[in-house]
Amino acid sequence: MEREILNPLENAQLQIKKACEALNLHPSIYKLLKEPKRLVEISIPVKMDDGSIEVFKGYRSLHNDALGPGKGGIRFHPNVTADEVKALSIWMTFKGCVAGVPFGGAKGGVTVDPKKLSMTELERLARGYVRELYDYLGEKIDIPAPDMGTNAQIMGWMIDEYMNISGKSDTGTFTGKPIEFGGSKGRVEATGFGVAIIARETIKKLGLKMENTTFTLQGFGNVGSYTAKYVQDMGGKVVGIALRDCAIYNPKGLDYEDMVKHLKTNKNLSNYPKADKIPLDEFWELNVDVFIPAAIENAIDAEIAKKINVKLICEGANGPTTPDGDTILKERGIVVTPDILTNCGGVIVSYFEWVQNLYKHFWFSDEVVARQEVAMVNAFNDIWDVVEKYKVTFREAAYMSSIKKLEEVMRLRGWIQ
């Protein structure tokens, strides 16, 4: 059976439309929110190490800035498209609303496989991206951060290029930077830590105990690995991890530190000796309590949604569930905490970094962790209250809450009558 192929922008727009209809809002609200305020498409010429010139396509989307400057990552990935970047910027708008931070939604990307570039080529690409988009970036305009295929080092090159052009030390224009260059402690692990917090809080509401709960994850990148770490620290047991073409499974549990140690040496988890290698079809049908997709968009389509055998899904990735998949999960009674709530830890600590940069005053790790936990628990409780009041799903509640907040602010600003 062929996998469902869905344009992520259509997915995002459908979610907005459903929430607007549930709130009985004027159709103009949907029209204002279904497309970004601007999308900038650029061509970035890069001199390669062999002396040749390659031109890479790049994008930056600002969806809505009613609440504040745009905020969102930059991904370097071969499958980046304009519609994907637009969809991701939409999700960032609602993620900021859920997180309670004064940011709008933005996202950027370059269509490239960063693994095929040398470090010097990667640096030239990063600096070229900033040169082409300089006029659209700024501490109070649009604030990028790392995403898939980018990291703190790339943010370091980008902020350096921005400062070279501007002649100003506006380090808050980028977040997710190296700590030595204005980054915040706790930023690298923030998204995974937040996913674990939302899982823990939901488990409590479902009447379960963390120490008796089993987890599977899809992906062991930044989000997946740190989610596994904090789930383990909180008493949960990760028993399986889906990789690109297979999965690993050990019903007795997988140890985070040991897997990281193995990865450093072997660069691959598929040959991890303390787990069985199993096919993905078998992975989806594992009988566990919680599944955390922490890899790609549209991972849970209708076909996969019929196979999954869990009580709870916590979306660590952006847009991992298709509308058809979501409908089936709802019919089966599987609780889903949506991406805009579950993985908002990254934007929360990015906000902390931005504040620290503006004031040139930096916090200790314990302070960042404590502040993030309070913010995540508050966000969860706010959405839970909507779930209980309106008897809707977590996803419906998160979008209803966010869109209502945006509608009120846009009205106050005079954008709508």
Give catalytic residue positions: 107
CB neighbour list of residue 331: distance below 8 Å, 6 or more residues apart: none
SS (H, E, C) 381-398: HHHHHHHHHHCCCHHHHH
Find how far residue 290's CA is from the centre of its chain.
19
What is the three-class DSSP state of 352? helix
Cβ 66 vs Cβ 406: under 8 Å: yes
Which tokens belong to 330?
């709802």
CA dihedral sign, ordered 15, 340, 209, 375: negative
d(CA 71, CA 68): 9
Residue of 52, 59, 183 lying closest to 129 (CA atoms):
59
d(CA 179, CA 163): 17
Q: What value, to the nearest 5°, has the Cα angle with vertex 348 and ends 342 and 351?
A: 155
Cβ 130 vs Cβ 165: under 8 Å: yes
Tokens 């549209």 map to which residue? 298
Q: What value, to the nearest 5°, has the Cα angle with vertex 63 and ends 181 and 182?
A: 5
Cβ 109 vs Cβ 82: under 8 Å: no
Q: How many C-beta atoms lie closer than 10 Å to residue 204's C-beta?
A: 12
CB neighbour list of residue 252: distance below 8 Å, 6 or more residues apart: 239
Find how far residue 245's CA is from the centre of its chain.
22
Residue of 367, 1, 363 lying closest to 179 (CA atoms):
363
Q: Tell me the β-bridge partners of 215.
A: 238, 290
Q: H-helix or E-strand containing 54?
A: strand 53-64
Strand boundaries in 78-202, DSSP class E: 104-111, 142-146
